[in-house]
Chain A
Amino acid sequence: MSDTAHAGTDGGHDHSPTGWRRWAYSTNHKDIGTLYLAIAVIAAVVGGAMSAMIRLELTQPGIQFIEDFQFYNMLVTAHGFVMVFFVVMPALIGGFGNWFVPLMIGTPDMAFPRMNNVSFWLLAAALVLLVASTFIAGGVGTGWTVYPPLSNADFHPGMAVDFGILSLHLAGASSILGAINLITTILNMRAPGMTLHRMPLFVWAMLITAFLLLMAIPVLAGALTMLLTDRNFGTAFFSPEGGGDPIFWQHLFWFFGHPEVYIMVIPAFGVISHIISTFSKKPIFGYLGMAYAMSAIGFVGFIVWAHHMYTVGFNVETRSYFVIATMVIAVPTGVKIFSWLATMWGGSIDFKTPMLYAMGFIFLFVAGGVTGITLANAGVDQAFHDTYFVVAHFHYVLSVATVFAIYGGIYYWLGKMSGRQYSEVQGRWQFWITFIGVNVLFFPQHFLGMAGMPRRIPDYPDAYAGWNMVSSIGGLITMLGAFMFLWILYRTLTAGAPAEDNPWGEGATTLEWTVPSPAPFHTHEVLPDTSDLQAAE
């Protein structure tokens, strides 16, 4: 960098920047990872509060406290956006990815440290715009899918949708830059001896996720740009009056949106693989199969998008293609599930909190995955589309499975990141409360969906009262678990016992456990020799 910048930091090898500049100007992958985790926690509080309001409104039939239905629609929309773009993605990709990809591949930092920081700050700016959109002109009341014509200027004339669009543009730019950074780091900067087939599975997961981001997000950006010009400059991409087609938006959105769901779950797969292997004290079973199963999921994920559009009026041949293509994904996913089970089989398992979350992940992800298979069949989807059955499906894979991976990952790596270890007793309590909570919350939604309750409605026919009440009680329990998690986080950071370099023992074999806890500001400045790592095959 420029000479003046050098002057202040010539002090010594371990000199690290201090004060607010350390965070605002950071070029350190661990600090940036921490920033990402912090923004994820803040956004989780926001998104969680929104879901609390949704569940409160739905506790009983009739209007509880939301009189303005635009407000309800806005809540649902913002809840979806916040959870997807500002909680799950930042926590798993920005947070864990930044922290542990360089540590695991034995390199001192990310490929483009400054760009890494701009990814984070663009995300923060995007969050500001999104929050702003909720206060302006009634907010974005379109659902997170933003389907026109409802999202066009005739039906959402205010600035809110434009704020939403530009928020997603910024978040998208952040993701694309982050993806470039991850791929370059992983392909170019592995320590000597670490071939692709010796890479830890979390790194594989991040590599595949980054490719999905790189290919999917720009298509969303293009779609958002067209929506913006439709709204403001009179183009006709999505309006039939000018020869355009509202269905075209849905193609673009889901061409991004379906890969997006794997963008959220593949990093979770990576985290789970490490936890399972560590606590079973066994290397992962079928390593290569695991890596290529994720690649296959990522690839097939690009050619199944229209399973979200079975009711738009496609001809039957189109639908039958998408049925088959979608169901194919169950095969590589099954490979992963069974390989995890085989890893545990014959293991010597310690049921520490991260392991509880990992096992919860496997069980409940399968439960959410098989309802995905139900939905994949266009015939029955005609009964389930846009009902609470879909809401149940995607919360099982997202709010249950993926969030379990985040919780589990935090418990697993908190000692490494902060130098302090959480209390095992508290962790287990928090797991069981959350486990019970999410099931009471989301399982009854299957029944509501079967009985026909549509999603995105602020009030429902009285017959749906029972299970909605149960669901809201489950929501309460889940919130309790979330609050307890925040408390444990706080207690650990302020008063936790010092963490050992490797608190988990022989099962924890990846490179992050060879550096001190907390991981010092700079790690792997002398590149580790990994050529004695076992090759995969």
Chain B
Amino acid sequence: MASDTTKTHPWHLVEPSPWPILAAVSAAVMAVGLIVFMHEDSPWLLILGLVLVMGVFTGWLRDVVAEAQGGIFHSELVQKGLRLGFVLFIVSEVMFFFAFFWAYFHSSLPILNNVAGTWPNGDLEAIGAGGIPMLNTLILLSSSVTVTIAHHAIIENDRPKAVRWTGITVLLGVIFLGFQIFEYAELILHSFTISDGIYPSTFYMATGFHGFHVLVGTIFLFVCFMRLRAGHFKAEQHVGFEAAAWYWHFVDVVWVFLYINVYFWGATGFLHLPAS
């Protein structure tokens, strides 16, 4: 609120904003839309909610991006706060995935669920670790490298290099998603669907939410790509890019966990100890 010349503290007091209340209303529309979609098979309210949420989000982020320019609002301390806040957000995401990993272990480890059963359930076969999953692991791991190269380029104020490597990272994200869609399509063709019991439930839920996070991370990086081209980021002012990079690393780590546990151990039967 204090005008810039009289500022007596390093903090950023944000102007009143219509975005929060609009965001909440849109989220509520989306939630109700989802319910209507599930019960009445009519997707329109859900689509409206999605569009509203995306619109509000874009408007909101526009303001943030505008504030980040010019070095007035986003002082060094404010940047520190933004980074801390984003790390905390990632912590909450980790706990979200914790629930899905717990689901996987609870249903596959007799020692946790105390019920003798077979894993995978029914006469399903476990999905192997080779092929597409292995390829996707390589893609995601290398994209973590490329995003780090881009980050270093920003720190060295080498914009063309940063643009280039961010672009490559975005591409790798898209390729990953493409492969995952292909994998899903193949599985569904072999009638392995989410409603076929606990194994496909945990499989699709964990990999699906991961895939969604890859999508978000890719979009996030794409925004950074555009902002880099517009010259938004400098060596001392690129919280937005850092957040995207951290998010990308988080998505990568989750994938490594998924790959080891769901694809590798799950398929080798390593986890399937007999019930006591």
A contact residues vs B (CB 8 Å cutoff)? 1-2, 5-6, 9-10, 13, 15-17, 21-22, 24-27, 107-109, 111-115, 117-118, 120-122, 124-125, 128-129, 159, 162-163, 166-167, 169-170, 173, 176, 179-181, 183-185, 187-189, 214-219, 221-223, 225-226, 229, 231-237, 242-245, 247-248, 251-252, 313-315, 521-522, 524-527
CA distance A113 to B67 in the complex (A): 13
In Å, the complex CA distance between A445 and B159 comes to 70
Complex-state Cα separation, A169 to B77, whole angstroms: 32
Q: Is the CB of A222 within 8 A of B96?
A: yes
Interface residues of B in 196-211 (CB under 8 A from A): 196-199, 201-202, 204-205
Q: Are the CB atoms of A125 and B84 closer together than 8 Å?
A: no
A214 with B31, Cβ < 8 A, contacts A2-B66, A21-B16 known? no
138-181 of chain B: CB within 8 A of chain A: none
Contacting residue for A235 out of B14, B97, B205, CB 8 A: B205
What CA separation (Å) do A187 and B85 show in the bound complex? 10
Most buried by A among B14, B63, B122: B14
B135 at the interface (CB under 8 A from A): no
Contact B92 A176 (CB under 8 A): yes
Roughly how many angstroms separate A421 CA and B95 CA in the complex, as a whole number? 44
Q: Which chain B positions have C-beta within 8 A of A159? A: 35, 39
B93→A218 contact, CB < 8 A: yes
Q: B88 and A214: CB pair below 8 A?
A: yes
Whether B121 is near chain A, meaning CB under 8 Å from some CB there, is yes
Q: When the two chains form the complex, which single residue of B13, B63, B89, B95 contacts A219, counting CB atoms closer than 8 Å?
A: B95
Q: Is the pair A114, B17 in contact by a Cβ cutoff of 8 Å?
A: yes
Minimum distance in angstroms from B46 CB to a CB of chain A: 12
In the complex, the answer to whether B85 meets A124 with C-beta atoms within 8 Å is no
Question: Of B101-109, B238-246, B248-256, B261-269, which binds chain A?
Answer: B101-109
20 contacts between A and B (CB under 8 A): A5-B16, A16-B1, A26-B16, A111-B85, A112-B14, A112-B81, A115-B20, A117-B17, A122-B27, A162-B39, A183-B88, A184-B85, A185-B81, A219-B98, A222-B95, A226-B100, A242-B197, A525-B2, A525-B9, A527-B8
What is the interface of chain B mostly: helix, strand, loop, or mixed? helix
Q: Does B28 contact A (CB under 8 A)?
A: yes
Nearest to B4 among chain A residues (CB) is A6
- CA of A185 to CA of B35 in the docked complex: distance in angstroms? 36
CB distance from B101 to the nearest CB of A (A): 9
Beyond A180-B89, A214-B95, A235-B201, whether A125 also contacts B63 by CB under 8 A is no
Are A162 and B38 in touch, CB under 8 angstroms? yes
Task: Determine the chain A residues whose CB is within 8 A of the CB of B198 once the complex forms.
Answer: 236-237, 242-244
B184-197: CB near A (< 8 Å → 1, else 0) gives 00000000011111
The residue among B38, B89, B99 with the most chain A CB atoms within 10 A of its own CB is B99
Q: Name the contact of A184 in the complex, choosing from B25, B31, B88, B204 (C-beta under 8 A).
A: B88
Report if B91 contacts A (CB, 8 A).
yes
Query: Are A242 and B201 touching (Cβ within 8 A)?
Result: yes
Chain B residue contacts of A10, Cβ below 8 A: 3
Bound Cα distance A164, B72 (Å): 43
Residue in B11, B193, B197 with the greatest tally of chain A CB atoms within 10 Å: B11
Contacts of B18 in A (CB 8 A): 24-25
Asked if residues A522 and B2 are in contact (CB atoms below 8 Å), the reply is yes
Per CB-CB distance, the 10 closest pairs between chain A and chain B, nearest first, are A222-B99, A234-B195, A243-B121, A121-B24, A118-B20, A243-B198, A218-B95, A117-B20, A235-B201, A25-B16
B107 touches A188 (CB 8 A): no
A-side interface mostly: helix
* Most B Cβ at <10 Å: residue of A167, A184, A185: A184
* Assembled-state Cα–Cα distance A6/B1 (Å): 9
Chain B residues, CB < 8 A from A217? 92, 95
Taking a contact as CB atoms under 8 Å apart, the answer to whether B205 and A226 are in contact is yes
Chain B residues near A121: list those with CB within 8 A.
20-21, 23-25
Per-residue 0/1 for B71-89: is the Cβ within 8 Å of any A Cβ (1 yes, 0 no)?
0000001001100110011
* List of A residues within 8 angstroms of B117 by Cβ: 243
Say if the beta carbon of B58 comes within 8 Å of chain A. no
Kindly provide the distance from the CB of A317 to the nearest chain B CB, expressed in whole angstroms. Answer: 11
Q: B220 near A: Cβ within 8 Å?
A: no
Choose among B8, B20, B31, B113 the residue with the greatest number of A CB atoms under 10 Å from its CB: B20
Does A248 contact B1, Cβ atoms closer than 8 Å?
no
Which chain B residues border A109 with CB–CB below 8 Å? 11, 13
- When A1-B63, A163-B35, A248-B106 are in contact, do A113 and B13 touch as well, CB less than 8 Å? yes
Q: Which A residues are CB-close (under 8 A) to B102?
A: 248, 251-252
Q: Is the CB of B11 within 8 A of A189?
A: yes
Contact of B19 among A114, A242, A243, A526 (CB under 8 A): A114
Q: Which residues of B contact A247 (CB under 8 A)?
A: 113
> Contacts A121-B24, A229-B194, A252-B102 hold; do A170 and B31 have CB atoms under 8 A apart?
yes
Question: B1 to chain A: which residues have CB within 8 Å?
Answer: 9, 13, 15-16, 521-522
Q: Which residue of A lies closest to B97 (CB)?
A: A222
A114 touches B202 (CB 8 A): no
Distance (whole angstroms) from the CB of B78 to the closest CB of chain A: 8
Contact partners of A180 in chain B: CB under 8 A: 85, 88-89, 92
B60 within 8 A of A: yes
